């Protein structure tokens, strides 16, 4: 199993600012992902965080808006840039320990409110 710590757990931000969310896993994991979950909705994958290289973004998400870093196997950051109220959401870091059928573990989530 893996324990994932995310911070901040919540924040209130001003329009036009940027915020970086940090994700730390307690063991080496193969794959790390960033999800967004808007109120009352399911999970939407933003990107796969690749170690030492650019993240792989899903349709509708771009690096300029959501830059992601993953300098090693246990740590990743997601930045939400130039925020607007539409970015208010829960952002979840997740990880799996293998490329196979490994369970996906989730961090506690970061609840962002943009005013």
Partner 1 sequence: GQNIDQPTEMTATEGAIVQINCTYQTSGFNGLFWYQQHAGEAPTFLSYNVLDGLEEKGRFSSFLSRSKGYSYLLLKELQMKDSASYLCAAYEDSNYQLIWGAGTKLIIKP
Q: How far apart are CA 115 and CA 113, in angstroms?
A: 6
Query: Segment contacting partner 1 (CB under 8 A): 15-23, 60-68, 76-84, 99-107?
Result: 99-107
* Sequence-distant (≥ 6) Cβ neighbours of residue 37 within 8 angstroms: 43, 44, 89, 90, 91, 92, 109
The reply to whether 105 sits near partner 1 by the rule CB under 8 A is yes
φ and ψ at residue 23, rounded to 5 degrees:
-135, 125
Contacting residue, 43, 51, 65, 97, with partner 1 by CB under 8 A: 43
Report the alpha-carbon distance of residue 111 to residue 11 in Å, rounded.
Answer: 6
Among 29, 55, 109, 112, binds partner 1 (CB under 8 A): 109
Looking at beta carbons only, is 18 or 30 nearer to partner 1? 30
Residues that bind partner 1 (CB under 8 A): 31, 41-45, 92, 96, 99-101, 103-109, 111
């Amino acid at each position: 199993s893996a324990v994932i710590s995310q911070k901040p757990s919540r924040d209130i931000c001003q329009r036009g600012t940027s915020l970086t969310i940090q994700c730390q896993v307690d063991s080496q994991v193969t794959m790390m992902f960033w999800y967004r979950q808007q109120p009352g909705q399911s999970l939407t994958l933003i990107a796969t965080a690749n170690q030492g290289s650019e993240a792989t973004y899903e349709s509708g998400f771009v690096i300029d808006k959501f830059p992601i870093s993953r300098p090693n196997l246990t740590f990743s950051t997601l930045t939400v840039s130039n925020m607007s109220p539409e970015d208010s959401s829960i952002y979840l870091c997740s990880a799996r320990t293998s490329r196979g059928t490994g369970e996906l573990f989730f961090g506690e989530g970061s609840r962002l409110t943009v005013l």
